Amino acid sequence: MHLKNHKGLILLLFLLVIPLKIDSNYLYSTLVIIAIYSIVVQGLGILMGYAGQVSFGHAAFFGLGGYTAAILTTRFQWPTLLALLAAAILPGIIAAIIGRQTLKLRELYLALATLGFGILVHIIFNEGGELTGGPSGMSGIPNLTIGIISFDNDQKFYLLVWFMLLLILVGIYNLVHSRTGRALCSIRESEYAAENAGVDCARLKLQAFIFSALLAGLAGGLYAFYVSFISPSPFSFHTSVQFVLMAVIGGLGTFWGPLLGAVVVVSLNELLREIVPLLIPGAGGEYQIIIYGIILVGLMIFQPKGLSSIGRYFRLPLKKELKPEG
């Protein structure tokens, strides 16, 4: 591991200290949500940006993670860390089961199949009765405890999720610069040629799908512990679209894309909620959605390759694509 390849990560590490100085709960909670979403989008970025497979069902894996953590801790009194592990593993297993069939589909058909899966899972959350608490959800999820540390305030949680995100970033960096990363890229470019190079495309796509579901589940588990209350609404189709948006806006197939995408989409949501009522007095939520939409469309027109390609204007090392090690 060469230090120069990790300039960005080191810079990020410094940036993460700043909120500790400001010490605002609002800032912490926004940053926690950004990190949680970003963990989902990291996995989705591997699936979409490297393996070239789209998924409109990742809110379902996110939700399955959340509900797994919630149900195991409140209904079955599991230790929280174990429940968090289960929150990652269960969506992974489900992805392994459904992926075998759905990944045979391509492009739009795959998008439709994953969309259907997402809606199905959302209905199950709603209609789960006793187990899921139905539309009103379930509360009283305990604080996450690892060893003797209980993550009972925003600051601790902030440090935890960003630490996890950093570990995941390092792992993703390793992955995309490895033989497996190249193979994933080759699937995206020409599945036919990838097979002829000896890549078992079906298997590798399934692994990428499972990997993305594991991360989504982990993020869901963290979300449940953070909010301590869970209901079906944050796991709807709308959230799946947001995840895809973050991946695309950040820049598919780029290292910093998923993080950047999550930062921009979440911040934009927050900003618009503050600013729109000031600009247009009495404006309702629909104005926010319209402006939000206009900004996103603009981004896609002027930065179709995603925000991480903006880095070149400032000579920032944002657009870290699959590059050979020097």
Residues near another protein, by CB under 8 A:
1-2, 5, 171-172, 174-175, 177-183, 185-186, 188-190, 192-201, 204, 207-208, 211, 253, 321-325
Of 95 and 276, the one with the shorter C-beta distance to another protein is 95
Q: In the complex with another protein, which residue's Cβ is closer, 175 or 241?
A: 175
Cβ-contact 320, 256 below 8 angstroms: yes
- Smallest separation (angstroms) from another protein to the CB of 321: 8
Cα(38)–Cα(266) distance, rounded to whole angstroms? 10
Rounded to a whole number of angstroms, the minimum distance from the CB of residue 68 to another protein is: 21
Nearer to another protein, 194 or 244 (CB): 194
Q: How far is the CB of 204 from another protein (least distance, A)?
A: 7
Q: Provide CB contacts within 8 A for 160, sequence distance 6+.
A: 144, 146, 151, 222
**Closest CB 194 distance from another protein, rounded Å:** 8
Report whether 161 contacts 33 (CB < 8 A). no
Amino acid code (one letter) for 82: L
Residue closer to another protein by CB (options 51, 138) is 51
Q: Which is nearer to another protein, 191 or 270 (CB)?
A: 191
Minimal distance, residue 179 CB to another protein, in Å = 5
**At closest approach, how far in Å is the CB of 184 from another protein?**
9
Give the whole-angstrom CA distance, residue 247 versus residue 257: 7
C-alpha R_g of the chain? 20
- Give CA–CA dist 138/219, Å, rounded: 18
Q: Angle CA(276)–CA(260)–CA(3) in degrees, nearest 5?
A: 150
Beta bridge partners of 230: 138
Comparing CA positions, the residue from 294, 255, 303 lying closest to residue 276 is: 294
**Residue closer to another protein (CB basis): 236 or 254:** 254
CB of residue 145 to another protein, shortest distance in Å:
26
Nearer to another protein, 50 or 235 (CB): 50
What are the φ/ψ torsions at residue 107 (nearest 5 degrees)?
A: 45, -120
What are the counts of helices (DSSP H) followed by strands (DSSP E) for the chain?
14, 4
Q: Which of 90, 45, 95 is nearest to 72 (CA)?
A: 90
